[in-house]
Amino acid sequence: MKRKNNEFFSKKIKKQLWENNSEHICAICKGKIWNFEDYEPDHIIPVAKGGTSTYENAQLSHRKCNRKKGKMQ
């Protein structure tokens, strides 16, 4: 399956989202994200439903939670 360019957040957005959310709580499981390497931005509105890879459409998530959510959609 070919991925669309708008499925990915830029490194700048990823860094801004992490820095602007000091508690580092996963929006999916509500658990603490302990380090930057375990984190991945999640689309609030999925790309498949018209969402974009912008800061306004991003939330913190564990990498594993985000990937699991993506498979369920």
φ, ψ for residue 42, nearest 5 deg: -115, 140
pTM score = 0.84
- Alpha-carbon distances, residue 16 vs 2, 4, 44, 64, 71 (angstroms): 27, 22, 16, 20, 26
Residue 20 has pLDDT above 90, yes or no: yes
Q: What is the pLDDT of residue 71?
A: 73
Q: pLDDT per residue over 27-72, tens digit each?
A: 999 999 999 999 999 999 999 899 999 999 999 999 999 998 877 7
Residue 11 has pLDDT above 90, yes or no: yes
Tell whether the model's pLDDT for residue 73 goes beyond 70. Answer: no
Mean pLDDT, residues 19-25: 96
Sort 25 into a burial class: Cβ within 10 Å, 0-12 / 13-18 / 19+.
middle
What pLDDT, on a 0 to 100 scale, did the predictor assign at position 54?
Answer: 96
